[in-house]
Amino acid sequence: MMTLSNRAAFFFGALFLVHGLFAQTYWGMTSSGGASDIGTLFTITETSTFTKRFEFTQVSGATSKCDLIKATNGKYYGVTELGGAGGFGTVFSYDPATSTYTTLASFNSTNGEQPTRGLVQSTVSGRLYGTCSAGGANGFGTIFDFNITTGLISKRHDFVNAGANLNGRAPRGGLVEASNGRLYGTTQIGGATNQGTIFELLVNAGGTTTFTKKIDLTLAGGARPYAGLFRASSNLLYGTTTQGGSNSDGVIFSYNVGTNAYTDLVDLVNATGSAPYSELAQNGAGGLLYGTTSAGGATDQGVIFSYNIATDTYTAVVDLNPAIGYRPLGRLRRASNGLFYGLTNFGGLTSAGVLFSFNPVGNVYTPLFNMYEGNLRDAWAGLIEDPNGTFLGVCNDDGSGGSGALFRYVPATNTMTELTAFGSSNGSQPKGRLVRHTTGLFYGLTNSGGSNNVGTCFSFDPVSSAHVRLSNMGGTLGDFPVGTLVLKGTKYYGLCSAGGANGGGIVLVRSIEQYVRQAEGPRRGIGHRTAHRSLPCRQRYAVRYHRSGRGERSGHALLL
């Protein structure tokens, strides 16, 4: 195991691998750190070279908690939770060829606020899709898409949780494309039991969408999912919940899109891991599923676990602790070398988080980099691997702008470079993954910032390092976008957790230059200000949320 050095930062999300002939590079983001302390974008190589690529500012976007995604254009895309024109988050891209970071859009209270988990590119429409955890017509969040070709952003759904429309609210996880070409996601609360839902978004090649609630979650079968769903090689979708089950410690479940069957597979227990906040990953076709929990285990600081689908066996394989990193909130990312890479939100030097590798052969956990050395912290998302052998990512805090940054980590040299700093104008608090388009640009969302301070959409050119804000969220377009954009055809779809005509969040279609309003519901509001005030207490609230199962307010504070 590598000896820890005096580096640290907070991570949230997944790493993204880019393949190449040399040592692999992974890209990721932190939700804090950098000069403005609001997040960074970074890369890390297999030899532990960490490079901060970009520092978020209040202008470019702040506090990124997303997983980056590499779109078919070769660029990386992501979101910031705060910052941008209105301070409610942004969508951004990063071009690795030009090292250009671009704020593509800012969110506002209408089109969504606080995007968290990044973007997903749809194979049907080619667009990027994502979610906002607040804002929209009812204040409950939105789904949106982003059209890279036309530069347009469109709200596709306002979440409603009143009367006959109890379809969920506050989506925290990203979207995933299933084998049927449809997108699926989860809401953290709302639905018939107010324990969250699983929903479906039918996407047409022309960009139109149809939203359908599929499952109402329950305390008995698993409740309050924070993460999105994962598509396994069997084409079944797998997910986790932070609460519920026989021990109230969360569950691992499967969902069959063909039969609409939900199955509670594992009732978690604190002794071997509880309260998972990240998506699952698979060790190759037919392999074991791997994931992390934010609590429980031998030290009650979280674990890395495996799940054998064939034998229905759950095993805690690594017990985390403050020395090596603990309380991971982002997903594991399987790289081309067969290792998994991930981030912890705490632990390491100054307890600011650790970037690590995990070898499923022998269950070997190796700390690679302490984010404190990169002036970064609070990384809620994971990394993405670049073809040149480095990692790209974002952090939610610190960085040169103080609101997080986009960065690069080079494993070969164990160096990190800030690529761009997030801030209020260009978006802040990215919480989802970047999406890479075929053009080579990355696209993403910020959960705050922009002209309306409710989020933005942005692009980043990894070649020129150009960061471009494409649009500002807000108003009827949805506020606080969350999750990862999904690309279908030429459009990107996403979720806003609030905003829209009724303030309850939306589903929206994203293109770079403007928004197109979609379905809206009656106004109800949960607002984003309480969540913002709760941010400094997230560790304390994380324990309360998991242990006591208190009301939505505590859970909402933790989730931010």
Q: What is the pLDDT of residue 396?
A: 76
pLDDT digits (tens, 9 = 90+) for 354-405: 999 999 999 999 999 988 877 788 777 777 888 777 888 888 778 887 778 8
Q: Find the mean pLDDT for residues 92-120.
A: 87
Q: Amino acid identity, residue 137?
A: A
- Which of 406, 449, 451 has its CA nearest to residue 43? 406
Q: What is the pLDDT of residue 28?
A: 78
How many whole angstroms separate alpha carbon 84 and alpha carbon 60?
6
Q: List the domains of the chain with CATH numbers.
A: 16-559 (2.120.10.80)
pLDDT digits (tens, 9 = 90+) for 274-310: 999 999 999 998 999 999 999 999 999 999 999 999 9
pLDDT digits (tens, 9 = 90+) for 455-487: 888 888 888 888 888 888 887 778 888 767 776
CA torsion sign for 340, 354, 388, 61 is positive
Contacts with 397 (C-beta within 8 Å, 6 or more apart), sequence order: 9, 10, 30, 31, 32, 33, 34, 37, 38, 39, 63, 376, 377, 378, 403, 404
pLDDT at 519 over 70: no
pLDDT digits (tens, 9 = 90+) for 212-250: 999 999 999 999 999 999 999 999 999 999 999 999 999
Q: What is the pLDDT of residue 454?
A: 86
CB 110 within 8 A of CB 88: no
pLDDT at 2 over 50: no
How many whole angstroms separate alpha carbon 221 and alpha carbon 156?
29
13 exposed, middle or buried (CB, 10 Å; 0-12, 13-18, 19+)?
Answer: buried
Encoded tokens for 57: 């500012």
Q: Find the mean pLDDT for residues 141-169.
A: 88
Q: Amino acid identity, residue 26?
A: Y
Q: What is the pLDDT of residue 144?
A: 92
- Which of 110, 109, 129, 126 has its CA nearest to residue 118? 129
Q: Find the mean pLDDT for residues 196-205.
A: 96
pLDDT at 5 over 60: no
Contacts with 311 (C-beta within 8 Å, 6 or more apart), sequence order: none
Task: Say which DSSP state 23 is in.
Answer: S
How many whole angstroms separate alpha carbon 186 and alpha carbon 124?
21
